């Protein structure tokens, strides 16, 4: 008896196949979804194209039934699985245990129409015991989960496919809107608007370096410590929270509390008075008050999906998407439990394993007191004030994310199997899981208030505050400290925010002090501060905000953030990024990959957000979207009606369809494309407006032209004036806070007179222009190249370069790039300097390239400096000789060059745009063209054999079997097969007659999971009989299709 096991990914196939006898099990991957709604008009079957709802892929006239087609490229997968079904006696669907996984299993049943008993297996981790347990506890497909996924999919489809075309028509192409995406965009844009409205305010205090007077204090150590001036003349000095961000003045509450806003000059006077009286007998510093407090810090809870994404972003620089990809690979390889979960609890066995690890490694004192206290702590923290109402909607089918198995392996134990991001993320998960069962960290904090007594009334009674902390017991922090020592530099894991803060505080130790002790002043200096606007969202903080508001689900956050970035709604910005005068155009692409950086909205985001807020306010409203999630959960549990809700949402009197029609008819394109900013008054004073379109953002400036007297008004001459509009392109990545008057003036100036001078070599004009991607230098006008088959040469400005400072000499140096510096004295290779996509670099021959340092000047770099950088590079690989041996042109094959290069994973060959790995037994340093040709030939032969084998097993062999099957194969040639096509005949042929015999509409059943109750039960494997646990190894049961 053989069983076919279907999982989602090939990686999971390799892991699970190790645990199962190959003569009893066939393990295959469906590689994600095999059916979905049509993504484009070309995928809509011809028989449905005439229907008004076809573009949506949802029959809004018939209970919102979705239209499914085979996903492009998945026809071969279906054919292969059907072929293997003929060789087995049972089918087990082992896709992921969330809504998506359940839906994939249901779609597999609909596509495969199996005639063998079919069951569902779910495991939280890929270990032998977990897989074995799942196979002994098989169940049917959970139709509630399938309905939940399908309802959300329909809702997302209705929203996206209704709003996105409107955005294309009214604003620009390639834009999109979505149920969660648009709310996230609204959060980012409104935060930026609040930042733009902020008026910065400067305020001052002073920093003192102090020391106990050892002459008056026995056994006192001469230890210096730092204090801050907090009160002057009995009034508390203002801090950032005391100011109104939008007025730049003290808030009403601070004014009422008599808070003192100290200016630069006032602070200077205070410091001068104190320093002048430093040696006066009547001026002294005395300890006024000492407050001691014991602080206990609870360990963090184990990771759930959202907290893992936040921590990975903050500590590892992994975006939500990258975090989930790395976690997925760890899960599929059997290193961690399932990574999509809202449940912060670990199973009892896992808790026991973690505690045993702590007990054996650190001792009993490092363990949490009891299981009851641990569970109560988890419950209390989970049901915090902001999440109590939302907790009831959480998916808690899976336990928390933790190391797989019941013997947690440390990162050090896995360092030979994992590396880089995988090892770093595993380290975070390991530390968090172990720390969650450990005891609290305990610290003693001391706050000392020191009073200045003086005969000078201006400074008498001033107070300084000093704080310090001493850790009494490490508790759970121990595992984090150990982890830092275990990890390699490539996978270094920092402490989490709370632990890092606690560690820093513990480093500040104060000498023992009591009230009345005398303190000496060593130095005093003023400190300037400026109020800051609210911070922009990062990946981590946006995920936290979405989760707190109950918008979307953690599993969707990664795709939402990636969509906002890929659609050019937002970009990452660093505090050190220097924007060009005309606004960006030089965002560092390497910085864009660091998810610790804030997400800043581009101008198109303001236009899209304003359009949606004005015409579809519910879809960007946090509370509406949160209520939508709650109602979707009720639909999933069967306590609400799906059709009624979707009808109300889309077809109701204030439904989406009606709103979209009204918007399309009434909204003017120019109004929709206008960008309204809080700084608009400054722009209006300049007669300038900002717009966005398909070619990016641009300025429209009205230039007034004097005319002539054309009429008399009330006996007076009236001057008729004319105006013309001048349009100036803006860089596509310009930010709203970069649109300052001086920058706009510069833009207009460049647009009106871009000529810097003449090129002495060609005699052509050298122009400074601004385009969609920022400022650039252009050599000559297009007409200068007419008849020559050429275009003007253009080169972008360097990152951070101020266009207003670009003169003819600088422009000519830019046009000279790439510039030859000379030859290497040993090899004779030409050395050139380039300005590349990822920054400036030097290239030696065809082999060695080295990035310039931040301090190097690309335009004035000389040969000597280039040789230094090359020497530093090659010294790490054994010197110049070895570096050249590993990075060189090997020769040619049929006139096409073959290059040898060294990369992160060793040497490799490059030929015709393809990469070929070298065999381990081949010495790359002595490689010749014959060796390279053999490697390329063998690699191509292996690829060809693999492709041929797949084709034979998948398409060629199966396409000859049945007419019905040939029909499926034909769908791969461009006509996606739907469940309506070919399904009816197969249903009769397979004798799935229960539903049809009772009058069930088979078309309706196959197009959607919504059908008669009998059809639904059949799809779930329930024929009306009482379901129970399958018996023994030879499991007896029915397939989800009722067989």
Q: In 881-904, which positions are buried (b, 16+ CB within 10 angstroms) versus exposed (e)? A: eebbbbbbebeeeeeeebbbebee
With H, G, I as helix, E, B as strand and everything else as coil, classify residue 1010. coil
79 neighbors 965 (Cβ within 8 angstroms): yes
Beta-strand ranges (E) seen in 667-715 are 688-693, 696-713
1003 neighbors 68 (Cβ within 8 angstroms): no
Q: Rounded to whole angstroms, how far apart are CA atoms 121 and 727?
A: 62
Those residues whose C-beta lies under 8 Å from the C-beta of residue 766, and which sit 6 or more positions away, are: 755, 756, 757, 758, 759, 777, 778, 779, 808, 811, 812, 815
- The size of the chain, in residues, is 1043
Helix axes 656-666, 642-651, angle to 10 degrees: 10
Chain-centroid distance, C-alpha 966: 43
Q: Rounded to whole angstroms, how far apart are CA atoms 957 and 59?
A: 36
With H, G, I as helix, E, B as strand and everything else as coil, classify residue 429. helix
Beta-strand ranges (E) seen in 752-845 are 755-758, 765-771, 774-779, 793-796, 819-823, 830-836, 839-844
User: Backbone phi, then psi, for 735, in 5-degree steps?
Assistant: -105, 160
Q: Rounded to whole angstroms, how far apart are CA atoms 370 and 367?
A: 8
CA 473 to each of CA 241, 428, 443, 509, 785: distance values in angstroms, whole numbers, following the listed order: 33, 22, 7, 15, 77
Q: In 952-991, which positions are buried (b, 16+ CB within 10 angstroms) versus exposed (e)? A: eebbeebbeeeeebebbbebbeebbbbbbbbbeebbeeee
187 neighbors 625 (Cβ within 8 angstroms): no
The bridge status of strand 518-530 relative to strand 202-212 is: antiparallel
Those residues whose C-beta lies under 8 Å from the C-beta of residue 199, and which sit 6 or more positions away, are: 245, 246, 247, 248
Active site residues: 338
The enclosing H or E element of 521 equals strand 518-530
Q: Rounded to whole angstroms, how far apart are CA atoms 90 and 117?
A: 5
Q: Please report which residue ranges of 26-127 form alpha helices under DSSP H.
A: 75-85, 99-112
CA angle 11, 17, 19 (to 5 degrees): 125
What are the beta bridge partners of residue 936?
Answer: none
User: Backbone phi, then psi, for 1038, in 5-degree steps?
Assistant: -110, 150
Count of Cβ atoms closer than 10 Å to residue 446 Cβ? 18
83 neighbors 969 (Cβ within 8 angstroms): no
Those residues whose C-beta lies under 8 Å from the C-beta of residue 347, and which sit 6 or more positions away, are: 399
N-terminal to C-terminal alpha carbon distance within the chain = 18
Q: Rounded to whole angstroms, how far apart are CA atoms 444 and 442?
A: 7
Beta-strand ranges (E) seen in 100-233 are 118-120, 202-212, 224-232
Q: Please report which residue ranges of 616-714 form alpha helices under DSSP H.
A: 622-636, 642-651, 656-666, 669-673, 680-685
With H, G, I as helix, E, B as strand and everything else as coil, classify residue 432. helix
User: Which two three-digit tokens encode residue 137?
Assistant: 């506890």
What are the beta bridge partners of residue 688?
Answer: 701
């Amino acid at each position: 008896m053989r069983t076919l096991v279907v999982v989602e990914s090939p990686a999971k196939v390799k892991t699970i196949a190790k645990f199962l006898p190959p003569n009893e099990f066939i393990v295959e991957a469906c590689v994600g979804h095999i059916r979905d709604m049509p993504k484009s008009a070309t995928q809509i079957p011809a028989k449905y194209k005439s229907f008004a709802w076809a573009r949506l892929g949802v029959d809004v006239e018939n209970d919102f039934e979705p239209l499914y087609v085979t996903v492009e490229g998945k026809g071969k997968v279906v054919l292969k699985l059907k072929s293997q079904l003929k060789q087995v006696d049972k089918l087990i669907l082992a896709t992921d245990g969330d809504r998506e996984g359940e839906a994939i299993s249901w779609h597999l049943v609909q596509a495969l129409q199996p005639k063998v008993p079919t069951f569902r297996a779910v495991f939280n981790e890929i270990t032998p015991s977990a897989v074995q347990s799942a196979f002994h506890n098989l169940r049917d497909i959970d139709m509630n989960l399938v309905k939940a996924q399908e309802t959300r999919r329909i809702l997302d489809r209705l929203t996206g496919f209704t709003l996105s075309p409107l955005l294309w028509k009214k604003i620009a192409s390639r834009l999109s809107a979505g149920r969660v995406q648009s709310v996230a965009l609204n959060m980012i844009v409104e935060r930026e608007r609040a930042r733009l409205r902020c008026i910065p305010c400067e305020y001052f205090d002073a920093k003192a370096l102090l020391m106990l007077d050892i002459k008056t204090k026995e056994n006192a150590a001469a230890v210096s410590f730092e204090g801050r001036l907090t009160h002057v003349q009995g009034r508390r000095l203002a801090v950032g929270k005391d100011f109104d961000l939008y007025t730049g003045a003290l808030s009403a509450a601070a004014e009422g509390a008599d808070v003192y806003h100290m200016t630069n000059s006032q602070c200077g006077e205070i410091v001068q008075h104190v320093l002048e009286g430093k040696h006066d007998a009547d001026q002294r510093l005395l300890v006024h008050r000492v407050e001691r407090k014991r602080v206990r810090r609870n360990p963090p809870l184990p990771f759930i999906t959202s907290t893992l994404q936040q921590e990975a972003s903050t500590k590892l620089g992994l975006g939500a998407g990258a975090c989930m990809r790395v976690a997925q690979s760890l899960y599929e390889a059997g290193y961690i439990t399932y990574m999509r979960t809202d449940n912060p609890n670990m199973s009892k066995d896992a808790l026991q394993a973690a505690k045993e690890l702590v007990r054996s490694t650190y001792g009993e004192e490092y363990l949490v007191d009891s299981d009851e206290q641990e569970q109560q702590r988890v419950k209390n923290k989970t049901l915090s004030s902001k999440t109590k109402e939302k907790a009831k909607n959480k998916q808690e089918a899976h336990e928390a994310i933790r190391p797989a198995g019941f013997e947690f392996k440390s990162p050090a134990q896995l360092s030979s199997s994992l590396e880089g991001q995988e090892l770093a993320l595993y380290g975070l998960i390991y530390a968090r899981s172990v720390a969650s069962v450990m005891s609290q960290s305990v610290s003693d904090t001391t706050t000392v208030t020191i009073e200045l007594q003086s005969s000078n009334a201006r400074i008498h009674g001033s107070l300084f505050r000093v704080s310090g902390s001493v850790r009494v017991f490490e508790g759970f922090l121990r595992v984090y400290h150990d982890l830092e020592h275990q990890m390699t530099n490539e996978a270094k894991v920092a402490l989490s925010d709370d632990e890092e803060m606690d560690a820093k505080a513990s480093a500040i130790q104060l000498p023992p002090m009591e009230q009345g002790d005398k303190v000496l002043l060593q130095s005093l200096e003023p400190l300037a501060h400026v109020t800051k606007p609210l911070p922009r969202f990062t990946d981590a903080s946006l995920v936290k905000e979405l989760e707190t508001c109950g918008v979307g689900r953690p599993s969707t956050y990664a795709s939402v953030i990636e969509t906002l970035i890929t659609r050019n709604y937002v970009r990452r910005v660093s505090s050190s990024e220097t924007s060009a005068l005309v606004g960006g155009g030089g965002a560092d692409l390497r910085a864009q990959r660091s998810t610790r950086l804030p997400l800043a909205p581009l101008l198109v985001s303001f236009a899209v957000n304003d359009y949606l807020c004005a015409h579809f306010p519910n879809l960007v409203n946090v509370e509406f979207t949160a209520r939508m999630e709650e109602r979707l959960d009720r639909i999933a549990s069967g306590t609400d009606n799906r059709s009624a809700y979707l009808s109300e949402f889309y077809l109701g009197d204030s439904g989406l369809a009606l709103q979209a029609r009204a918007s399309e008819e009434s909204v003017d394109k120019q109004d929709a494309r206008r960008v309204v900013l809080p700084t608009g008054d400054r722009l209006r004073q300049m007669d300038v407006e900002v717009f966005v379109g398909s070619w990016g953002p641009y300025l429209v400036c009205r230039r007034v032209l004097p005319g002539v007297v054309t009429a008399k008004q009330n006996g007076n001459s009236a001057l008729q004036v004319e105006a013309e509009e001048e349009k100036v392109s803006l860089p596509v990545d310009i930010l709203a806070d970069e649109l300052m008057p001086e920058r706009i003036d510069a833009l207009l100036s460049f647009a009106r007179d871009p000529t810097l001078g003449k090129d002495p070599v060609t005699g052509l004009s050298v122009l400074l222009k601004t385009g969609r991607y920022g400022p650039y230098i252009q050599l000559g006008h297009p007409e200068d190249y007419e008849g020559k088959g050429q275009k003007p040469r253009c080169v972008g400005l360097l990152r951070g370069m101020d266009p207003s400072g670009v003169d003819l000499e600088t422009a000519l140096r830019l046009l000279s790039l790439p510039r030859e510096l000379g030859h290497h004295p040993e090899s004779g290779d030409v050395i050139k300097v380039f300005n590349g996509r990822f920054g400036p670099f030097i290239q030696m021959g065809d082999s060695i390239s080295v990035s310039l340092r931040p301090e190097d000047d690309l335009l004035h770099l000389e040969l000597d400096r280039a040789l230094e950088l090359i020497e530093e590079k090659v010294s790490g690989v054994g010197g110049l000789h070895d570096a050249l041996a590993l990075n060189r042109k090997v020769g040619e094959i049929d006139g096409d060059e073959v290059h040898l290069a060294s990369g992160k994973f060793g040497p490799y060959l490059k030929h015709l745009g393809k990469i070929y790995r070298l065999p381990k037994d081949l010495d790359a340093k002595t490689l010749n063209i014959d060796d390279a040709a053999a490697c390329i030939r063998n690699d191509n032969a292996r690829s060809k054999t693999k492709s041929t084998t797949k084709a034979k097993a998948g398409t060629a062999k199966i396409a000859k079997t049945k007419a019905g099957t040939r029909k499926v194969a034909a769908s791969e040639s461009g006509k996606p097969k739907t469940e309506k096509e070919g399904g009816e005949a197969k249903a009769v042929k397979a004798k799935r007659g229960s539903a049809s015999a009772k009058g069930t509409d088979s078309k309706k059943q196959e197009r959607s999971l919504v059908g008669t109750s009998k059809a639904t039960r059949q799809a779930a494997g329930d024929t009306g009989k009482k379901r129970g646990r399958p018996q023994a190894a030879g499991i007896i049961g029915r397939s989800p299709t009722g067989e």
